[in-house]
Structure formats: structure tokens, C-alpha cells
Amino acid sequence: MNQQKIVQTVAVMAAGFVATRVLSLVWKRVFGHKPPGTVDDEQDSSLREIVLFAAVSGAIAALARAGATKAAVRFTDKSLAESRD
């Protein structure tokens, strides 16, 4: 496995973790309870909330992954160019 793939994997995992935390905090502030589907989910979430959460979390995950991958590629390309000089 090369350096670029390792950096990309770590960046995507970190971005996913941060995105999940931020979405959970925003969801709790907007709706007043934890997002649907959490392990300790005791509330009865409506189908509307479940679908909304799935759509929003999917979009945020895709954006976080794309951004992290792009940043990791930029970082590794820059560091490889500097090491060759």
C-alpha cells in the first residue's frame, strides 16, 4: 500500500467521524432528540425523520469523503514533490 492510499484512508475516516459527530449535534439541537437509528434509540422516530436523516447523512458522508480524498491527494502530491526536490 502506498503513502497516498494510507493518507486518503485516514483522511476519509477522520472526515466521516467528524461529519457524524457534527450531524448528531445539529440534529439534536434542531429536533430536540438524538438522531434516529442510534444504539440507545428509545424514541419512536417518524418515517419522515428516518428518511430525512438517511438523506442528509448520506449527502454529508459523500461530501466529507470527496473533500477528504481531494485534500489527501493534494497533501501527498505536495509532499512527494517536495521530497523529490
CB count in 10 Å sphere of residue 38: 13
Neighbouring residues of 56: CB distance < 8 A, sequence distance ≥ 6:
23
Give the model's confidence band at 22: pLDDT under 50 very low, under 70 low, under 90 confident, else very high: very high
Summarised one tens digit per residue, pLDDT across range 48-83 is: 998 999 999 999 999 999 999 999 888 888 776 777
Q: The pTM is what? A: 0.74
Domain ranges of the chain: 3-84
